[in-house]
Amino acid sequence: MGLCGSSSGGPSNAYFDEYVKTLPSMKGKVVVITGCTSGTGKIFARVCAKNGAKIVMLNRASERADDAFQFIKGVAFEAQAPAPVFIPCDMNSFKSVKAVGKQLSKDFNGEGLDVLCNNAGIMGVEDKATEDGCDIQMQTNHLSHFILTAYCMPLQRKRQVCAAKQE
């Protein structure tokens, strides 16, 4: 898994543990993450939940997604952070991404979003087109993230205004 974590979502490097200790509290923050069933996305979700953030996990519906959700739910509970939210999202489908964007716009219209981590990605896949007619890797890794970001930006702007008023 490299220097920053293990496949279970736990750290495997003393330098990473020391770095995490320096991070500020994320209490009251809302963090949306695509592709957080393993690797960097799962570690990011764990660290943010451990620091008090509300985590919104956007993954394809799968056993791995369920396992990751239960893991982050446990981390959030131990940290007395808000329970995470899982929203099924298939980055191979513009229809799915737009539906999730609309759901986020509805669900977080009042509080806004602090962080959008566009982490989902694939590589080394067969060269084929999605149902939308795009290269599968290009759509998953880039195009769908642009669509999701377009839905999330107004929510992030709302949060920035609120933060500026608090200072």
- Interval 9-36: pLDDT, tens: 555 577 888 888 899 999 999 999 999 9
**pLDDT over 90, % of the chain:** 81
Mean pLDDT computed over every residue of the chain: 91
Distance in angstroms (rounded) separating the CA atoms of residues 45 and 66: 14
User: Which contiguous run of DSSP H or E holds residue 148?
Assistant: helix 144-166
First to last CA, the chain: 40
Residue 65 in any domain: the answer is yes
Owning domain of residue 111: 14-166
- State residue 18's pLDDT score: 87
133-144 mean pLDDT: 98
- State residue 7's pLDDT score: 47
Distance in angstroms (rounded) separating the CA atoms of residues 78 and 4: 21
Residue 4 in any domain: the answer is no
Distance in angstroms (rounded) separating the CA atoms of residues 141 and 42: 17
Q: How many domains does the chain have?
A: 1
Task: Indicate the range of 36-40, 87-91, 120-124, 161-165 predicted with least confidence.
Answer: 161-165
- State residue 14's pLDDT score: 77
Note the pLDDT tens digit of each residue in 69-93. Answer: 999 999 999 999 999 999 999 999 9
Distance in angstroms (rounded) separating the CA atoms of residues 2 and 40: 10
Q: Are 163 and 28 in contact (CB under 8 A)?
A: no
CATH number of the domain encompassing residue 73: 3.40.50.720
Residue 122 in any domain: the answer is yes
- In the structure encoding, which two tokens stand for residue 87, read together? 């929203």
Residue 7 in any domain: the answer is no
Tell which wins on pLDDT, 17 or 62. Answer: 62
Q: Is 135 helix (H, G, I), strand (E, B) or coil?
A: strand
Q: Which amino acid is at 124?
A: G
| 112 pLDDT above the threshold of 70 | yes
Among 74, 83, 40, 41, which Cα is nearest to 59's? 41
Distance in angstroms (rounded) separating the CA atoms of residues 32 and 72: 13
Among 62, 74, 13, which Cα is nearest to 36's? 62
- State residue 15's pLDDT score: 82
| 131 pLDDT above the threshold of 80 | yes
Residue 5 in any domain: the answer is no
What stretches of 51-143 show up as alpha helix (H) in DSSP?
A: 63-78, 94-107, 136-138
Residue 56 in any domain: the answer is yes
Residue 136 in any domain: the answer is yes
| 2 pLDDT above the threshold of 50 | no
| 6 pLDDT above the threshold of 60 | no
